[in-house]
Amino acid sequence: MKKLTWFVGSLAAVLLACGPAMAQDDGAAKANPEKPAKAKPDKAKASGLKGEYAIMASVVGMDDAQKAKLAEALEANKAAEGQWKDGDGKKMEELSKAAAEAKKAGDKEVGKKVAEDLKALKESRAKLEEAGKARILAVLTDEQKTRYAAFKLERQVLQRFGKKIELTEDQQKQMKDLCAQAVKDRPAGEDPKAAAAANKKLLGEIEQKVLTDAQREALKKPAEKPAKEPKAKEPKAGEGDKPAAE
């Protein structure tokens, strides 16, 4: 299976335990009141995972060991991000100001030098982000990388459809199968532009192969805007102070 090197850009359900059990009799209940059962913490939350990373853990079926490794990778990314901000990040802020001042002054020579320095810092930023993605992907197996990538495609498809149409169970299965196959067919190291073009092609394929004619027509219609409630008319000056007729 081809390894996926791209990684995109949050919900985790928490199950609550039931309330206290009924005591056998009133006397026993007063003497030994039963305590409510403690809710079992969600494993993703217990490991400190939040948002998209909690979703990732759930989608790919991470075990506790993997969740711990992912949490460690995220901490490493956070530390690296902090170091970059304290170093190159501050330099980028200073150079951005210098670029604005050079442009204002019309100093092309200084502007060119600043632009070259900014380019180098942007490259260091890109390397930081790639290293962060690599840390996270290193936690996943090849199968999990494929599953998560397919999940993200599924989510894009559903966002495209919005509230205009609702897929049947059979249509959802067809859509998921097409997304999974699209991920497997993609080359390693696909650049963002190529990925965007492939996503657009996939959406078209799903619309043609999965949707009915009526659903395709529904997609063409503009989204309905919620009706605005009429504003209450404000009384003219003095109208609100008129005494009631006797």
What tens digit of pLDDT does each residue of 129-168 get?
999 999 999 999 999 999 999 999 999 888 888 778 889 9
Whole-angstrom distance, CA of residue 65 vs CA of residue 139: 10
What is d(CA 14, CA 87) in angstroms, rounded to the nearest whole number? Answer: 39
pLDDT of residue 106: 87
Q: How many residues does the chain have?
A: 246
Answer for the pair 7, 140: CB distance below 8 angstroms, yes or no: no
Q: Would you state the pLDDT for residue 48? A: 76
Output DSSP code: residue 100: H
The angle subtended at Cα 181 by Cα 150 and Cα 164, nearest 5°, is 60
Closest by Cα among 115, 114, 109, 117 to 88: 117
Q: What is residue 103's predicted lDDT score, i.e. its pLDDT?
A: 87
Tell me, what's the pLDDT at 235?
A: 52
Q: Look at residue 16 in the predicted model and tell me its pLDDT.
A: 31
Q: At CA 219, angle to CA 217 and CA 225, rounded to 5? A: 120
| Amino acid 227: pLDDT | 58
Q: Which residues of the chain have pLDDT under 50?
A: 1-41, 43-44, 240, 243-246
3-state secondary structure of 72: helix
Residue 233 has a pLDDT of 59
Question: What's the pLDDT score for residue 109?
Answer: 86
The owner of tokens 């170093």 is 87
CA-to-CA distance for 34 and 226, rounded, in angstroms?
Answer: 49
pLDDT at site 108: 85
